[in-house]
Amino acid sequence: VNKRRFLKQVSFLGAGVPFAMLQLDQVLAAAAHMPDDELADDESFWSEIRAGYRLKPDYVNLENGYYCFMPEVILDRYIDHVREVNYQGSWYLRTTQYDEKKATAARLAEMAGCRSDELIITRNTTESMGLVISGHDWRPGDEAVMAEQDYGAMLNHFDLMARRHGVVNRIVSVPNHPKNDAEIVDLYAAAITDKTRLLMVCHMINLTGQVLPVRKICDMAHSKGVPVLVDGAHAFAHLQFSIKDLNCDFYGTSLHKWLSVPLGAGFLYVNRNKVKKIWPLLANEKRPVDDIYRLSHVGTGPVHVDIAINDAIEYHRRLGGARKEARLRYLQNYWTKKARLITGVSVNTPEDPARHGAIGNVGVDQYAPSDLAKILLEDHKIWTVAIDQAGVRGVRITPNIYTTPTDLDALIRALTLLAEN
């Protein structure tokens, strides 16, 4: 079958199954009998998945945390959507756009484990979190709780609320290697006062990849009457979880990180009892106060990105979330267990599997993080990102499903050499 012709024949908006998706099915069918943990180190299976990506030969990319580019099958579909929207013009925008976007949001809601009237598509985590932080009805002297390990843009946004509305921000510090969940929950609990109106917590800290006990933090905060906003930028389509099980009030994530959607997509979950408490950032037409779509007016946007979310969901569904998580954990353990044994090297991510996913952070004691990242790139052809803040000194290592143990062996060789010098 000619792939291009085949793609042209399939109908618009994900109704058909592209050839490459069918090829993926064949690879998956051959491995269907294998449990996820056994398949996690089956390199012949994962090399087929890797073959579906176009990879730059210049370096080993261990920086998929900012953005994980798409496998070709999603990219091809996305390009088809760009062409089709360009062909349909305002016809698509006036007739189908909103229904399609709602249907896509409903698919995301099903995947995230919440109701479809509790989730809207946004451009990214920054927008999702900002809608809640800015939309809160702040009064002077109100307090908010967060951690210095939270993402910079979120801390900046709370700082804006401090300057604009007189909010008092109470900032805790999460240890890189906590003893247990209680230590973290107690840290947040100690910062809550009778003036606390919102608590923000990362599902997975971007600096180290540490997973926080979100459910326990939410239960504790709720027992004190405080709602919780979760920054899930790195958790969705990476870890298996359900928003309902987290028991949070608000959850923001990006889809261009772990779901491999084209750049510029995220979602915001708002518990349906909390929708009416948030002011929209951009005024929408008059909708009931408990309608989440009150919060999502952004004007005309890149609708082809929203359409491509369906293709990425389909890819994820076929591959299997649990299978993906098992592989990602295998890759993280593959290199961290070796790195933990090298003298002069510090792994800044907890060893306990409940406290990490694919991301790890590693430092070589005698190197500043920026120098380490530079040497890794220039001398060893390994692309990472330096982290030097909030008690974390190292480079962040973020593989994805196309990463091989051979890629990670190159990292271990480089760390060993640098620590010896």
Ligand X SMILES: Cc1ncc(COP(=O)(O)O)c(C=O)c1O
- Minimum gap (Å) between residue 130 Cβ and ligand X: 9
Of 317, 314, 315, 303, the closest CA to residue 81 belongs to 303
Whichever of 81 and 234 has its CB closer to ligand X, that residue is: 234
Interface pick for ligand X out of 61, 97, 126, 403 (rule CB under 6 A): 126
Task: Please check whether residue 264 is in contact with residue 123, taking contact to mean a CB–CB distance below 8 angstroms.
Answer: yes
Whichever of 153 and 171 has its CB closer to ligand X, that residue is: 153
- Minimum gap (Å) between residue 153 Cβ and ligand X: 6
* Residues 252-281, interacting with ligand X (CB under 6 A): 254
Strand duo 250-254 + 266-270: pairing? antiparallel
Taking residues 235 to 254 in sequence order and writing x for each that binds ligand X by CB under 6 A, - otherwise, the string is: -------------------x
Q: Which stretch binds ligand X (CB under 6 A): 84-92, 124-132, 282-290, 342-350?
A: 124-132
Of 162, 190, 194, 195, the closest CA to residue 174 belongs to 190
Whichever of 230 and 418 has its CB closer to ligand X, that residue is: 230
- The 10 Å Cβ neighbour count of residue 9 is 11
Whichever of 234 and 393 has its CB closer to ligand X, that residue is: 234
- Minimum gap (Å) between residue 202 Cβ and ligand X: 5
Of 262, 301, 264, the closest CA to residue 80 belongs to 262
Whichever of 151 and 188 has its CB closer to ligand X, that residue is: 151
* Residues 146-175, interacting with ligand X (CB under 6 A): 151, 153
d(CA 243, CA 271): 10
Q: Rule CB under 6 A: is residue 231 a binding residue for ligand X?
A: yes
Of 282, 292, 265, 271, the closest CA to residue 108 belongs to 265
- Minimum gap (Å) between residue 326 Cβ and ligand X: 23
As given in the structure block, the two tokens for residue 132 are: 């809640």
Q: Rule CB under 6 A: is residue 21 a binding residue for ligand X?
A: no
Q: Rule CB under 6 A: is residue 122 a binding residue for ligand X?
A: no
Interface pick for ligand X out of 131, 233, 292, 309 (rule CB under 6 A): 233
As given in the structure block, the two tokens for residue 391 are: 């008690």
Q: Which stretch binds ligand X (CB under 6 A): 38-46, 229-237, 324-332, 341-349?
A: 229-237
As given in the structure block, the two tokens for residue 251 are: 């959850």
Tell me, rounded to whole angstroms, the distance of Cα 323 from its chain centroid. Answer: 17
d(CA 354, CA 211): 7
Interface pick for ligand X out of 61, 104, 124, 336 (rule CB under 6 A): 124
As given in the structure block, the two tokens for residue 184 are: 């973290």
| Cα 159–Cα 161–Cα 166 angle in degrees, nearest 5 | 105
d(CA 204, CA 174): 12
Interface pick for ligand X out of 20, 202, 292, 418 (rule CB under 6 A): 202
* Residues 61-80, interacting with ligand X (CB under 6 A): 66
- Minimum gap (Å) between residue 301 Cβ and ligand X: 15
- Minimum gap (Å) between residue 342 Cβ and ligand X: 27
- Minimum gap (Å) between residue 129 Cβ and ligand X: 7
Whichever of 46 and 348 has its CB closer to ligand X, that residue is: 348
Q: Which stretch binds ligand X (CB under 6 A): 105-113, 120-128, 243-251, 402-410?
A: 120-128
Interface pick for ligand X out of 97, 125, 196, 208 (rule CB under 6 A): 125
d(CA 71, CA 49): 9
Interface pick for ligand X out of 81, 136, 157, 234 (rule CB under 6 A): 234
Q: Rule CB under 6 A: is residue 386 a binding residue for ligand X?
A: no
Taking residues 331 to 370 in sequence order and writing x for each that binds ligand X by CB under 6 A, - otherwise, the string is: ----------------------------------------
* Per-residue b or e along 55-76, where b marks 16 or more CB atoms closer than 10 Å to that residue's CB: eeeebbbbbbbeebbbbebbbb
Total of residues contacting ligand X (CB under 6 A): 12
As given in the structure block, the two tokens for residue 53 are: 């990506």
Dihedral angle sign, alpha carbons of residues 394, 395, 398, 402: negative
Q: Rule CB under 6 A: is residue 329 a binding residue for ligand X?
A: no
Q: Which stretch binds ligand X (CB under 6 A): 72-80, 107-115, 121-129, 397-405?
A: 121-129
d(CA 400, CA 358): 8
CA torsion 182-183-184-189 (nearest 10°) is 80
Residues 6+ apart with CB under 8 A from 52: 20, 24, 71, 72, 73, 402
Binding-site ranges for ligand X (CB under 6 A): 66, 124-126, 151, 153, 202, 206, 231, 233-234, 254
